[in-house]
Amino acid sequence: MESYMDYLNGLYGFIAALVVTIVATPLVKAFAIRIGAVDKPNHRKVHQRLMPRLGGLAIYIGFALAYMFFIPSSKETFGIFLGGSIIVLVGALDDRFELSPKVKLLGQIIAALVVVWYGLRIEFINLPFEGTLNFEWIAIPITIIWMIGITNAVNLIDGLDGLAAGVSGIATAAMMIMALIMGNTIVAIYCMILLGGIIGFLFYNFHPAKIFMGDTGALFLGFNLAALSIMGFKYVTLFSIIPILILGVPLSDTAFAMLRRFLNKKPISVADKEHLHHCLLALGLSHRNTVLVIYGISIMFATAAIVFSQSTLWGAGILILTLLFVLQLGAELIGWLGEKKKPLLNTARRIRQMRAGK
């Protein structure tokens, strides 16, 4: 009965966050324009006109109000909320003043340390063949690296209208379903409220967008997803695999970007126009269809994570290998690693040529 009432509160929180975000977004848009927090077009960006950013502030407002009234009291969730508030401040300052990378990183480290201080850490990983791998003293740096990595991975995919918000919403929904399956009430309710804020913002952010979420929103959503993945799955066998699957799109886009730049002998920090959404646009897909395709890929990863959690060890292994093969093949077909880096397709071509030669 208590769980039923908790989940009912979660539903109320979802509605509250949704409605407040819908109401707050136009106000935040006007505020962003007034203070000059706008995104200017350049050679790397798709949009062709000035766009107000700072939209993540509306998500935060809707989430924060619902959090205060509907999430059960918890030391860990308060730590996430406090750290997320610091991230929002850093993102908002960056949206207005364009902070240096070092200052942004410092803010992210402080926010991650707050989460650690309130008891949320990756202290161990359950192994598939019984036993655990304990991190002991390195639990803190591992947690901070994970938090910062996921936070920035979501920020990297924020390149099209509704893309980062939609992908984050799908990941949040997947975590909510997993939490419901495992009976983790607090994580489920937290996800419900966060999802309400995301959906409320998508009313204004889906193509054609009226406002961008900016670093305020992308960093906030990435930070929350990173923290929730620790809180929700730290007792699950192969903890590291499930959140990686749920966050498959931003993580794979980041991984391929780093690998692509390494293979092309370019600095990892140098930006390019070969992210997933750039590749799909280059194939001739429209802005809206590109976003919908990436939503579909996100749903595939999220579904795989849920199936994985219920699979046997052998079934999970086959699922992972299949996903890796499909991911690599898809990356080569769209030129995600660059036009010349296509080992699977080149191997298949050589095999066909050998057969033709016979």
- Which tens digits make up the pLDDT trace of 14-23? 999 999 999 9
Query: Residue range 99-105: average pLDDT?
Result: 93
pLDDT reading at 218 higher than 60? yes
For residue 335, which of 263, 244, 245 has the smallest C-alpha distance?
Answer: 263
Per-residue confidence at 352, pLDDT binned at 50, 70, 90?
A: confident
Over the stretch 251-293, which tens digit does the pLDDT of each residue have? 888 887 787 777 777 776 666 677 788 788 888 889 899 999 9
Which pLDDT value is given to residue 238?
47
Tokens for 29? 């848009």
Residues contacting residue 59 through CB under 8 Å, at least 6 positions apart: 21, 165, 197, 198, 200, 201, 213, 217, 220, 221
Per-residue confidence at 353, pLDDT binned at 50, 70, 90?
A: confident
Indicate the burial class of 311 (C-beta count within 10 angstroms; 0-12, 13-18, 19 or more).
middle
What CA–CA distance (Å, rounded) separates 195 from 16?
Answer: 11
Please tell me which residue, 93 or 324, carries the higher pLDDT value. 93
Residue 71 amino acid letter: I
Over the stretch 134-143, which tens digit does the pLDDT of each residue have? 777 788 998 9
What CA–CA distance (Å, rounded) separates 248 from 331?
Answer: 13
Residues in the annotated binding site: 155, 215
pLDDT reading at 357 higher than 50? yes
Tokens for 219? 């960093």
Query: Residue range 94-105: average pLDDT?
Result: 92
What CA–CA distance (Å, rounded) separates 209 from 212?
Answer: 7
Residues in the annotated binding site for Mg(2+): 155, 215
Phi, psi of 132 (to 5 degrees): -135, 155
